[in-house]
Amino acid sequence: MISNRQKLIGALLIFCVCSSKNFFIYNEEVLVTCSFVIFCWVFYSYFRDSITQSLNSRSDTIKMELQNFIRLKQDFQGELIKEHKTIYNCSACLDKMASFFYQQFRDVLNLSTKYSHETAKFLVLDKLRTCSQFISRQTRELQIAMVTHLRESLSIQFSAGTLKQMALLDAKAQLKKLARGR
């Protein structure tokens, strides 16, 4: 097998022969290009292992960082999905609670208005009953006082005789009215 050193010497000899026979036309661009290609080839041949190791280690580092990033992103997305489900469940629960409390408040409001009307009705009826009892007692006392006073005044006037004359005049007036009405 041909070693790299032999390949290099062969290429250099071929280049020298081609240059001496004027197969190559040398100008600035060709010389710069040839120098650059030779520099890259020499550099790569001497530092190939260290460059490969450096690039491989950098590749492994980048690969590990990307895997960590992907794992963190998946964990974050999992947590985000859990939070979204929790928030959705909370939202659904709040909607159910809102409808439940709306129904309960409406029922309580209806009951409170009903019972407040009933309570007001019972209070008014109780007051009326109390007033009625008070009025009936006062009315009886007033009637008794009026009857007593009437008896006293009638007995005084009857004893004075004025009541007889008035009663007779009233009776005559009523008889005349009856006679005219017939």
* The most confident of 13-22, 34-43, 172-181, by mean pLDDT: 34-43
Residues comprising the chain, all counted: 182
Residue 126 sits at the vertex; the CA angle it makes with 120 and 128, to the nearest 5 degrees, is 100
Whether the Cβ atoms of residue 128 and residue 119 lie closer than 8 Å to each other: no
35-52 per-position pLDDT tens digit: 898 898 888 888 888 888
Query: CB-side exposure of 63: number of CA atoms within 13 Å?
Result: 6
| CB burial string 5-36: b at 16+ within 10 A, e below | eeeeeeeeeeeeeeeeeeeeeeeeeeeeeeee
Residue 10 corresponds to which tokens in the numbers above?
Answer: 């062969």
Mean pLDDT of the chain: 80
Count up the domains in the chain and report the number: 1
Tokens of 125: 């009826």
Tokens of 11: 């290429």
Domain residues for the domain of 164 are 4-181
Number of alpha carbons in the 13 Å side-chain half-sphere of residue 118? 6
Q: What is the pTM of this model?
A: 0.35
Q: Which residue type sits at 127? A: K
C-alpha to C-alpha distance for 121 and 118, rounded to whole angstroms: 5
* 26-39 mean pLDDT: 83
pLDDT tens per residue across span 143-163: 777 777 767 776 666 666 666
| Cα distance between residue 48 and residue 44, in whole Å | 5
Q: pLDDT tens across 108-125, in order?
A: 778 777 776 777 777 777
